[in-house]
A and B are shown apart, each in its own frame.
Chain A
């Protein structure tokens, strides 16, 4: 085996002064009309289709 040796890695290009900053985000759950149908309580606890469950007939 021949050892690999590197003396220089040069990178040319542009940079910005953009900074990644945390933002203060607030989220609110808002019910939609379909929620009642999808999540209605019954003796069979079907999962919502968008949660991987089988839709009720």
Chain B
């Protein structure tokens, strides 16, 4: 029978960062980057904080939280602005929070992420994206200070978000966390960056240009 016990509170298994509670990087077996290039590596530069034997160039961004603001190493998209990061864990994990920090100019920071779990995550590549349903989609603000994060799903997959000012029926704890509980595979698809956002000019009735909004900001609150 398999030996199993959980570690509530998420203490770190990384001896160098024992108090790091953003520590699931230390359970990565593989971190693959599709359409991604490792930047800032080279001789003498550490590019992996995963356990011994772990593989994949995306390990370079799965680093201890204390090192999150270090400019390198980083991952950059190759043929276009899209990146898929596929993570395979060596033990079942329950992901509660995800933080993403872009590198370089803020225009190149990712503006959203689609999260896939389980078998969908294992099989995901760019050709499979059309038929794959993400467990969660999140908009990402520029997070240069490394303080922003999002909680994993707070609603069932496919359940619409509550319109502004309206609360949906509360869900049980099991319902709201289920997709990210006891998983061994997680894939993150970054479809675009902040350089893609359209800047629109809003005019007053008199025709005077008063303000420029990003596309996201201009969405009406329904």
For residue B195, which residues in chain A have a CB less than 8 angstroms away from its CB?
Answer: 2
| Complex partner residue of A21 from B2, B58, B75, CB under 8 angstroms | B2
Given A2-B81, A3-B77, A7-B74, also A14-B190 (CB < 8 A): no
A2 to B4, CA, bound (A): 45
> Does B44 sit within 8 A of A, measured CB to CB?
no
Measured between beta carbons, the chain B residues less than 8 angstroms from A10 are 22, 25, 62, 65, 68, 97-101, 149
* B100 touching A15, Cβ below 8 Å: no
Complex interface: stretch among B87-95, B118-126, B131-139, B158-166: B87-95
Main secondary structure of the interface of A (DSSP, over half): strand
16 A-B pairs (CB sep. < 8 Å): A2-B193, A4-B82, A4-B108, A4-B110, A5-B39, A8-B63, A10-B62, A10-B149, A12-B23, A13-B93, A13-B96, A14-B6, A14-B7, A15-B91, A15-B94, A19-B2
In the complex, besides A4-B81, A6-B102, 11 extra interface pairs with C-beta distance below 8 angstroms are A3-B77, A4-B110, A5-B77, A5-B108, A5-B109, A7-B75, A8-B61, A8-B68, A8-B101, A13-B95, A16-B182
A-to-B contact residues, CB < 8 Å: 1-21
